[in-house]
Chain A
Amino acid sequence: MAILNITYAGLSADFPLESGVNLTDGDVRRIAVEVVRAGCVRGAAFPSVADSAFDHYVVDRFTGPSGERRIYLRPKVPFGGRRSA
């Protein structure tokens, strides 16, 4: 089973993905829209969140210490600066 962790509006929540289907980044974003609209992120509902709300979010995949798959959907953040070579 994979876990989708969504970070939105400075809050995060896990959403279990029971299916064994391989999700594309697009699928992950679409699921997140439904989850956030339903109020699954810390109980806070954002019913009017746009379909495109997560278009520019980063989808990152981790494998946990017990082998469980975790998918992180989070905002793209700027970094302070590039180090000189």
Chain B
Amino acid sequence: MVDYRKFLKSEPEEVAVLFLGGLTAHAFGGRALRLTSSVGLEPGWYRVRVRGRGAELLAQAEPESLEGLPGETGHFACGYVGMSRGRLELLERLGAPEPEALAPLRARRHPTGALLLDEALFEGEPEVLAREALEAGRGLSGVKGVTPSLRAAFALATARAVARERGVSLSAAELDKAIPRIADDGRAAAHALLDELTLRREEERARIAERARGEALAAIYERARATPRARAQPPRLGPEELAERALTAAGALLLGARRLGPDTLEVRYQFLGERFTSVVHPQTLHVFDAGICLAGADEEVTLESLPSVIREAIEDGVLVITRR
């Protein structure tokens, strides 16, 4: 006979979990739990209530012991740990205070791969001398007993300080190959690295901008080719409205207009603090008489482009008004 209790919901249980980001929290024993929400949640220890496959966050919890996890030692700098093989890895402090720059520490490797801060270790003379060199902007050449992990942390601390002064962003991964050089030579080598990174970023930005520009231009050319002629027909407006629209667009002010004949319209307008009078076609706005001396080239422009011509004449000091 089937036991009916199998079909009843199990009681919710409360457990301590380690949250490292995302939507998953990790209970000890390797159990992964799906959080119902992790918005704004900082990595650390929490108590959750487990309901079926989901876990609801309750409150922060006391840190659990990390002793069961594999330990690694290194040196701290800027949120990272310089590791024994001279690499840099992000350190998860789990709410603990930030260690001093170049401080030796023990970290634990979580099954997810995350490196968790465990405890600070005693400092020796190399750490003290390295910190003095860091503050003075020197390299570590000549300092005895410096381990690869200390060199990596020193290089990061030096490069980040220089990057901060220059207002340049720098990730630890971008430092990788320059660690030996910066560890030996200090700030001078960090400046050289940042010069190189800045140049490469500018080149990349220029490449991206040029590609975007090329694509945008290609789209404009294509649209120009595809524009039906009907769309290009002038709008059905009266002569005065056409003139006003053309002048306003260029920052000029229509003062008045009058018909001189069936195909001629005299337009009076103000532009750049001066009054002008031009004679144009009432529909195309083709200029017959610009009202300024254009040496007979009046008919090459229209009322739409005339303000640009006037501006050039004023700026070049060659404006001669011929019609008032």
Taking Cβ atoms with an 8 Å cutoff, the residues of A that contact B are 3, 5, 7, 10-13, 15, 17-23, 27, 30-31, 34-35, 37-43, 45, 58, 60, 62-65, 70, 72, 74-75, 77-83
CB distance from A46 to the nearest CB of B (A): 12
Q: How many residues of B contact A (CB 8 A)?
A: 50
User: A63, A75, A79: which contacts B301 (Cβ < 8 A)?
Assistant: A75
| CB atoms of B294 and A77 under 8 A apart | yes
Q: List 19 A-B contacts (CB under 8 A).
A: A3-B249, A10-B284, A10-B286, A21-B212, A27-B217, A30-B217, A39-B232, A62-B249, A64-B248, A64-B249, A64-B250, A64-B251, A75-B300, A77-B294, A77-B297, A79-B313, A79-B319, A80-B294, A82-B317
Instruction: Please report whether the interface of chain B is mostly helix, strand, loop or mixed according to DSSP.
Output: helix
| CB atoms of A74 and B224 under 8 A apart | no
- C-alpha spacing A80/B80, complex, angstroms: 72
| Complex: chain A residue closest to B281, CB-CB | A10
| CB atoms of A42 and B293 under 8 A apart | no
| CB atoms of A65 and B251 under 8 A apart | yes
- C-alpha spacing A17/B295, complex, angstroms: 33
B302 interface contact, C-beta 8 A: yes
B318 interface contact, C-beta 8 A: yes
| CB atoms of A43 and B294 under 8 A apart | no
| CB atoms of B295 and A78 under 8 A apart | yes
Which chain B residues in 188-245 approach chain A with CB under 8 Å?
Answer: 212-213, 216-217, 219-221, 223-227, 229-234
Q: Which of A60, A62, A72, A75 has the most CB of B within 10 A?
A: A72
- Shortest beta-carbon contacts, A-B, top 9: A80-B293, A74-B305, A34-B224, A19-B216, A21-B216, A79-B318, A40-B232, A12-B302, A78-B295
| Complex: chain A residue closest to B214, CB-CB | A21
CB distance from A62 to the nearest CB of B (A): 6
* Per-residue interface assignment for chain B, residues 270 to 314, with 1 indicating a CB less than 8 Å from any chain A CB and 0 otherwise: 000000000000001111000011110101111011011101110
